[in-house]
Every structure is written in C-alpha cells, then in structure tokens.
C-alpha cells in the first residue's frame, strides 16, 4: 500500500459536541495541525468527505455542520457574522489551536469574517467559490430570495414523494460540472437532512438576508486587504452560481493571496473535484509552512 493510499483510507468519524448549549455535529479524521472545513449554504459536512480523507494524512481535518444546516441545532441569527462567531465558539469547545480555515460558498464568507475577527488565530485561509466577494450571483438565487419560490421549496420538498432526494439531485446537477463524482456519503446525508424543513428554512432565511434584488447584499471584497495571513482562492471555471472572476478580483485585493482556477468544475468544487482541491490545498499549506519555518505558523 502506498503512502497516498494509506492516507485516503483513514476512517472518518462522526462526533457531537455541545457549543454553548447548541448540539453540534462534525466529522473528523487524522492528526496534526488542525484544519477546519466549513460547508456551503444548505449543505452538510459530507460535502468535504473526500477532502477530509485527503488531508487527514498530514492534518487533523474537521468538517462542521453549521447551525441549522445539516444536523447541528439552529441558532437565532443565521448571518455570516453570527456563524463566524459560532465557529470560534466551536473551535474553543473542541480545543483547536490556530486552525487553518477552509470555507466553501457561504462557508467562505463565514471563514473570511472569522479571520477578520481574530486574524492572529488563523495561520492560513482557503476560500473555495466563496460567497460575498461581489454582487453577482445566479439569478435563480435572487428569485428564491425575493419571490415566493423559496417558500414553495421549503413547503414542497419534505412532503413531495422523493422530494429530499430530488432536491439533492437538483443541487448536485445545478452546482456541479461532474455530479457523478460526488461521494455517496453526501447524497444520503443531504437527503436525510432535507426530510425535515429545518435546513431549508434556515437556508431560505439566510439567503434572504444575504441576497436581494441586485444580488449579494454585503460583499466583503473591500476588506480583504485587512487579512494578514496567506490566503488561497480556489474556484471552478464552470461555476454557475458565483462567477470565477470574483475569485480573480479577490486575489487582487489580498495582501498574500494566491489563486487556483480548476477546469471542468463548477460551484460544488469540494465534492466534485476533491482530488484537485486536496492537491492544491496541500501544496499551499506546505509552502506556507516552509515560508514560516522559523516561526510557529502551523505549529
């Protein structure tokens, strides 16, 4: 068995922890410097399943279910800022020391705000098709936010025969260029979550707070220059949810930014192109560690 094969066969474990009264679910594998993976809006931690396995050979890889999404209990405030504050409470509860933050879509917006809140606590940042890096967004997201279409989805999916599986299929087909590559763990977990309206209601509430008639309401592009840590921006070239040129614009604003555009991949990059993402993330973190070898960047 090769070293890479051994790394990919590490078992991923499901855990629960109480975070200030909120029962919080997460997946974990590996040992080493901590890496916290934050999923996108409406998605479960399993979107990172293959990425967790790919990082677990060198890092302690932890993927969280955000409050109200997945299996973690909801909290009142679903804004990216409130979720960022919750992420730090989770980090403290789990005893993670200076974790690398990796966020996808909404998770990227959460990671940015968490890094802005405590920059000294984040040695490196990875943004994957991140939200809030510009106003442009797929018009369907605007329709769901500003019309009754979103309410109809919340009502219909749990009661329609096969509705949760159908919704998961729509998300996969719309969000990915190669949906057949998405791990089966995501399909089953996502469908179970959607069998009740909690995640859908949370997603709609958060979407309406973040997306209006003219697109994303509160871009943080102008604040990226405040981030002192090395930051990798990864984007699928065929992203139909958020245009890849937002990643290019983000790279230009970052003080220590790097950009990777992944061909033949769309918005659901962590699930449909995990091998490519793991490769660039591991190379990035190795370079960060080498650059800071005389400090304690990843120690």
Q: What is the pLDDT of residues 56-68, one digit of tens each?
A: 999 999 999 999 9
Tell me what pLDDT residue 290 has: 74
Backbone angles phi, psi at 290, to 5 degrees: -65, -40
For 34, the 3-state DSSP assignment is strand
Instruction: Tell me whether residue 215 is exposed, middle or buried, using C-beta atoms within 10 angstroms of its C-beta: 0 to 12, 13 to 18, 19 or more.
Output: middle
Q: What pLDDT shows up at residue 195?
A: 87
Q: Are 54 and 10 in contact (CB under 8 A)?
A: no
The number of C-alpha atoms within 13 Å of 46 and in the hemisphere containing its C-beta is 17
Short-list 158, 47, 61, CA closest to 101? 61
Number of domains into which the chain is organized: 1
Asked, for residue 65, whether it belongs to a domain, the answer is yes
Residue 268 inside a domain? The answer is yes
Query: What is the phi/psi pair of residue 238, to 5°?
Result: -100, 25
Q: What is the pLDDT of residues 38-91, one digit of tens each?
A: 999 989 999 999 999 999 999 999 999 999 998 999 999 999 999 999 999 999
Domain assignment of residue 257, yes or no: yes
Would you say residue 233 lies in a domain? Answer: yes
The enclosing domain of 280 has a CATH number of 3.40.50.1820
Place of tokens 């008639």: 213
233, 255 in Cβ contact below 8 A? Answer: no
In which domain, by residue range, is 133 found?
3-137+218-291
pTM of the model: 0.93
Q: What is the pLDDT of residues 174-202, one digit of tens each?
A: 999 999 999 999 999 999 998 888 999 99
Q: Per-residue b/e over 14-49, b at no fewer than 16 CB within 10 Å?
A: eeeeebeebebbbbbbbeebbbbbbbbbbbbbbbbb
Q: Is residue 57 part of a domain?
A: yes
The count of C-alpha atoms lying within 13 angstroms of the C-alpha of 282, restricted to the half-sphere facing its C-beta, is 19
pLDDT tens, 226-285? 999 999 999 999 999 999 999 999 999 999 999 999 999 999 999 999 999 999 999 999
Q: What does the alpha-carbon distance between residue 35 and residue 25 come to, in Å, rounded to a whole number?
A: 16
In a domain, 72, yes or no: yes
């Amino acid at each position: 068995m090769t070293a890479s094969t051994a790394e990919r066969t590490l078992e991923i474990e499901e855990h629960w922890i109480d975070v200030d009264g909120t029962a919080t679910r997460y997946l974990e594998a590996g040992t080493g410097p901590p890496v916290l993976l934050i999923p996108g809006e409406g998605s479960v931690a399993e979107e990172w399943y293959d990425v967790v396995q790919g990082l677990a050979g060198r890092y302690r890889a932890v993927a969280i279910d955000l409050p109200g999404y997945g299996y973690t209990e909801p909290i009142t405030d679903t804004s990216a800022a409130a979720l960022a504050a919750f992420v730090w409470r989770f980090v403290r509860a789990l005893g993670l020391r200076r974790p690398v933050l990796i966020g996808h879509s909404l998770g990227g917006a959460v990671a940015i705000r968490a890094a802005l809140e405590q920059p000294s606590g984040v040695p490196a940042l990875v943004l994957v098709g991140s939200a809030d890096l510009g106003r442009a967004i797929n018009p369907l997201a605007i329709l769901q936010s500003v019309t009754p279409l979103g309410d109809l989805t919340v009502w219909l999916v749990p009661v329609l025969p096969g509705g949760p599986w159908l919704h998961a299929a729509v998300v996969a087909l719309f969000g990915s260029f190669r949906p057949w590559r998405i791990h089966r763990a995501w399909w089953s977990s996502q469908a179970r979550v959607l069998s009740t309206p909690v995640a859908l209601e949370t997603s709609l509430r958060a979407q309406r707070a973040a997306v209006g008639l003219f697109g994303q309401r509160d871009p943080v592009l102008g604040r990226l220059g405040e981030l002192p840590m090395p930051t990798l921006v990864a984007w699928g070239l065929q992203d139909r949810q958020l245009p890849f040129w937002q990643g290019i614009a983000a790279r230009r604003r970052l003080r220590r930014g790097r950009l990777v555009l992944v061909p033949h991949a769309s918005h659901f990059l962590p699930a449909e192109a995990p091998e490519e993402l793991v490769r660039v993330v591991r190379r990035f973190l190795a370079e960060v560690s080498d650059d800071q070898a005389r400090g304690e960047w990843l120690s």
